[in-house]
Chains A and B, each alone.
Chain A
């Protein structure tokens, strides 16, 4: 049993080291056409200086709608759970 544990430990460690060695260098994404487009065009298209805000509320607004709906659902659940508590 002990030898099996050691074998799997060494196998897992080798796998992790292999993964770490095959990482690409820091700061070099594989696909950067989309973020370059947003950085270059958000001030012209959305008239917004903050590129993050222009992505969150303009380019990816549907995602923000989902986020606020999640918060609304959480508040609705808590109000349902505590109904009659303050009355």
Chain B
């Protein structure tokens, strides 16, 4: 891995936190605005790609592959488990919508104020898919960029 200049390292370190925040915003507002789990997860993975390119071995050594694999598997299992929880009616039934529980507020037809606390299981599934996509893409980049054993 080549050494980058201080300017590149500091610019990447400054940009990484806003990029991750923007990705979390896209995931959390997937049921209100364009975007969702896949898109937000990809944005978060972009921040890790930037860190890997700027810092090289320092960044790839600080992330454990096993932790990312465990997070990805947990997120996928949570997604499938949420789909199974609606099995009283059908697979992938939205059992939390209009229930008054978590994310369970009703929505009036037509334009409304757009509360975050709506849409039932859709935000939870967005979060699970976002974690899965960001961890999966980070694993791919970690394996492609962090395999250099020299230096």
- Are A65 and B132 interface neighbours, CB within 8 A? no
* Closest Cβ neighbor of B132 among chain A residues: A68
Selected contact of A47 from candidates B38, B105, B146, CB within 8 Å: B105
User: Which residues of B are found within 8 Å of A67, using beta-carbon distances?
Assistant: 38
Q: Report the bound CA distance from A62 to B106 in whole Å.
A: 24
- Are A47 and B126 interface neighbours, CB within 8 A? no
- Are A43 and B94 interface neighbours, CB within 8 A? no
- Are A58 and B118 interface neighbours, CB within 8 A? no
20 sampled A-B residue pairs with Cβ under 8 A: A44-B109, A46-B120, A47-B97, A47-B98, A47-B106, A49-B107, A50-B32, A50-B34, A50-B119, A52-B34, A53-B122, A57-B121, A61-B92, A61-B125, A62-B91, A62-B92, A65-B83, A68-B132, A71-B136, A72-B72
Q: Report the bound CA distance from A62 to B140 in whole Å.
A: 25
- Are A53 and B30 interface neighbours, CB within 8 A? yes
Q: Report the bound CA distance from A75 to B73 in whole Å.
A: 11
The reply on A11 being an interface residue by CB < 8 A is: no
Selected contact of A46 from candidates B30, B94, B140, CB within 8 Å: B94
Closest Cβ of chain A to B97, distance in Å, is: 4
Q: Report the bound CA distance from A66 to B110 in whole Å.
A: 31
> In terms of DSSP, what is the predominant structure of the interface of chain A?
helix
User: Which residues of A are found within 8 Å of B53, using beta-carbon distances?
Assistant: none
Closest Cβ of chain B to A50, distance in Å, is: 5
Chain A residues proximal to chain B, CB less than 8 Å: 43-50, 52-54, 56-58, 61-62, 64-65, 67-69, 71-72, 74-75, 78-79, 82, 85-86
Closest Cβ of chain B to A78, distance in Å, is: 5
- Are B34 and A65 interface neighbours, CB within 8 A? no
User: Which residues of B are found within 8 Å of A62, using beta-carbon distances?
Assistant: 91-92
The list of the 5 closest CB pairs from A to B, nearest first, reads A61-B92, A48-B119, A85-B147, A82-B143, A75-B136
Q: Report the bound CA distance from A71 to B41 in whole Å.
A: 12
Q: Report the bound CA distance from A56 to B147 in whole Å.
A: 36
